[in-house]
Amino acid sequence: MAIEQPMPALYAGLGCRRGCPVDVLEALLQDVLQVHGLDATALRGFASIAGKADEPGLQQLAARHALPLVVFTAEQLQAYAPQLSHRSAVAYAHSGCWGVAESTALALASLSHASAILKVTRQVRGPATLALACVR
């Protein structure tokens, strides 16, 4: 008889253009979870960069899932640059961060455990990006 392993906690990092609708963010999240065989019940929170703290779509997504939306400054995210799968000059020009989705996912996971890793690298859907991190 196989013993089922508990699903690791997941931390979602999100980036988006101003005015990105919650339905776009939700569809991206659901697609990524489905493709990777992950369950939304493993999500522990959403994260983004501080400049997006007032973004309605991000706030609505967090509320839909009854999870916190945690934001980080570009300075706080610099420590995660070596772990990024992709460095975006466009993201850096707009935010001071090389990759919002991956950096914020790693930063959020690191709040609960020191050794966070990317479970799903940066995924893009139109105006939104998403990455998932977990702890080792």
Residue 13 · residue 108 · CB < 8 Å: yes
Please report which helix (H) or strand (E) contains residue 125, including its range: strand 116-125
Predicted confidence at residue 7, as pLDDT, reads 72
Work out whether strand 128-135 and strand 10-16 pair parallel, antiparallel, or are unpaired. Answer: antiparallel
Query: How far is CA 12 from each of CA 1, 69, 84, 97, 134, rounded to the nearest angstrom?
Result: 33, 10, 14, 17, 9
Question: pLDDT band for position 82 (50/70/90)?
Answer: very high
Task: Please state, in angstroms and rounded to a whole number, the distance separating the CA atoms of residues 99 and 129.
Answer: 9
Predicted confidence at residue 2, as pLDDT, reads 56
Structural domains in the chain, CATH included, are 10-135 (3.30.420.180)
Task: Please state, in angstroms and rounded to a whole number, the distance separating the CA atoms of residues 55 and 16.
Answer: 9
Q: pTM of the prediction? A: 0.92
A 10 A CB-CB count for 31 gives 13
pLDDT digits (tens, 9 = 90+) for 104-115: 999 999 998 778
Question: pLDDT band for position 93 (50/70/90)?
Answer: confident
Task: Please state, in angstroms and rounded to a whole number, the distance separating the CA atoms of residues 134 and 128.
Answer: 20
